[in-house]
Chain A
Amino acid sequence: MSEFTNSNNTNMSRNYAKEEPSGFSFDHIHRNAMIQQMTKASSNGNSSSSNSSYLPQATKTGTTIVGLVYKDGVVLGADTRATGGSEVADKNCEKIHYLAPNIYCCGAGTAADTEKTTELISSQLDLLRLNSEGSQSRVVTACTMLKRMLFRYQGHISAALVLGGCDVQGPHVYQIYPHGSTGKLPYTTMGSGSLAAMSVFETGWAEDMTEEEGVELVKRAILAGIFNDLGSGSNVDVCVIRMDGTVTMNRGAVQPNNVQPLRDAIKRSDMLNMRSGVTSVLHSEFKPHMFGGVTLADVSVTEMET
């Protein structure tokens, strides 16, 4: 008997202390595929086309991201639309991620993957700086850390990145693909809108541009992506990283899709625009509370028979 109670206790504690396996779990891939097939089969039979066959999809940043090197630094740019399937999940998401004071990274692909990958490498760079008596992080270091991690995961982490920054060796822009290959270039574009943006770059890029020219070119490239690619939209974010160490992060540098003026033009009832603390009084009535007008129900207690 004591063995029974003992084993019960240890079972419970074993469950709570069980270690979670680390890394990706691909257990549900087969199940999800079967569910999709089942719902497709049933919707074909029923001729109903509603959400029965809809499986939530990972939020992807459809995206146009770009980076270029100009005379005294780098300019990074990105749109701000995040999609989940064909629905816009976030109209103003931030795709330019911080890696180090002098290094920023634009991310395309699955939003969670780009966000977490850049956060991970950012903290690794931080630790490296702490261990190296504060030497400024180099862009090639960030690039190598990112490519080593992405190669390890053999492309299952869907993160396509444009990495840019300035260090002692000069301004650098790298492109990093989900399978772990990298390329060092003077200008590059990634994401679904990359073709539209690259056409602008190929026409307009020149060596040793000024900052104004670089920023203008980046804005035009992202706008090309926003207007011609369905996966990109909303605003343009621009980030300038200069050789002298200053960084300018301009969220919403261009807002071609701002619908606020349209919303403001709608006429709504004045009752919706009350000062807080003021309520419009429609009707007043006073009725005194009836004390003693309530009678308690009679409850007789009968003993239970055992």
Chain B
Amino acid sequence: MNPFAPAQIQNPNYYSTAFQYDGKSAETRNLKPGEVSTGTTIMAIPFANGVVLGADSRVSTGTYVANRVSDKVAQLHDHIWCCRSGSAADTQALTDYVRHYLSQLAIETGRVPTVKCAAHLMRRLCYENKDNLMAGVIVGGWDPVEKGSVYNIPLGGTCLKMPFAIGGSGSTYIYGLVDAEFREGMGEEEAKSLVKKAISHAMARDGSSGGIIRTVVVKETGNEREYIPGNELPYGP
């Protein structure tokens, strides 16, 4: 037998880890059949005294919209929130775990947990279970140390502190827009309107994003939740 001949693939269940040109998007490729996906556009921008987080509201199973008014902005602690994208089941479970660990941590240390800590907890879970999870998360919030901060945790479990973060399948359509319009040191109103504008544009072009825009403004004084109905979006048909 020639030791240099290519290996014979006998097992029909062998799956290749090489890139497969099958027309599926990266977001939905690894979903199991029938699994629910938060297709999504999510975004977070920090400003002087806090953070604005925003998300669309569409949850899909294949081509059917399972929930057109879902809430993808979840609260992890008093002033720490996260935006969820990827598999709905995985991100809901992750959010529950991090919420639990954060509340334990707050009791044990007697301090308000930092956004960095929440992001790192999330990243630990995402990274160490990367084979079984499909979750892209943006963690943002206010803490006394860093004031407003935003951490992006894409698929695979990288954790990056960023001046602004966008994620989800619809984010690919708005990289140009956000790069052009974002400035360091924006105020609250400017950041909010950029979030709403960018997500509207993504919803207009991405099939997996749609519905309404939900936003949360997180400041030292508290959290303000808002939503914009689908017929009042800043941009759209």
Name A residues whose Cβ lies closer than 8 Å to a Cβ of B: 147, 150-151, 154-155, 175, 177-183, 185, 188, 194-195
> What residues of B have a CB within 8 angstroms of the CB of A185 in the complex?
67, 69
> What residues of B have a CB within 8 angstroms of the CB of A179 in the complex?
32, 34-36, 87-89
Residues A195 and B35 in contact, CB atoms below 8 Å apart: no
Q: Does B64 contact A (CB under 8 A)?
A: yes
Q: Does B66 contact A (CB under 8 A)?
A: yes
Q: Which 10 A-B pairs have the closest CB atoms?
A: A181-B88, A179-B89, A181-B89, A180-B89, A183-B67, A181-B36, A179-B35, A177-B36, A151-B93, A181-B92
Q: Does B70 contact A (CB under 8 A)?
A: yes
B interface, over-half SS: mixed
Q: Does B59 contact A (CB under 8 A)?
A: yes
With A155-B32, A155-B34, A155-B35 given, is the CB distance from A180 to B92 under 8 Å?
yes
> What residues of A have a CB within 8 angstroms of the CB of B92 in the complex?
147, 151, 180-182
* A7→B34 CA distance, assembly (Å): 52
Interface readout for B164-185 with A: 1 if CB under 8 Å, 0 if not?
0000000000000000000000
> What residues of B have a CB within 8 angstroms of the CB of A154 in the complex?
132
* A183→B36 CA distance, assembly (Å): 11
Please give the distance in Å from A109's CB to the nearest CB on chain B.
9
* A155→B36 CA distance, assembly (Å): 11
Name B residues whose Cβ lies closer than 8 Å to a Cβ of A: 32, 34-36, 59, 61, 64, 66-67, 69-70, 87-89, 92-93, 132
27 contacts between A and B (CB under 8 A): A147-B92, A151-B89, A151-B92, A151-B93, A155-B32, A155-B34, A155-B35, A155-B89, A175-B67, A177-B35, A177-B36, A177-B61, A177-B88, A177-B89, A178-B34, A179-B34, A179-B35, A179-B89, A180-B89, A181-B88, A181-B89, A183-B67, A183-B70, A185-B69, A188-B67, A194-B64, A195-B64
Residues A175 and B66 in contact, CB atoms below 8 Å apart: yes
Please give the distance in Å from B197's CB to the nearest CB on chain A.
27
With A155-B32, A155-B35 given, is the CB distance from A177 to B66 under 8 Å?
yes
* A262→B132 CA distance, assembly (Å): 55
* A181→B92 CA distance, assembly (Å): 7
Please give the distance in Å from A212's CB to the nearest CB on chain B.
26
Sample of 10 more A-B contacts, CB < 8 Å, known A147-B89, A194-B64 = A147-B92, A155-B34, A177-B61, A177-B88, A177-B89, A180-B92, A181-B59, A181-B87, A183-B70, A188-B67
> What residues of B have a CB within 8 angstroms of the CB of A195 in the complex?
64
* A150→B66 CA distance, assembly (Å): 18
Most central of B32, B59, B61, B67 by chain A CB within 10 Å: B67
> What residues of B have a CB within 8 angstroms of the CB of A175 in the complex?
66-67
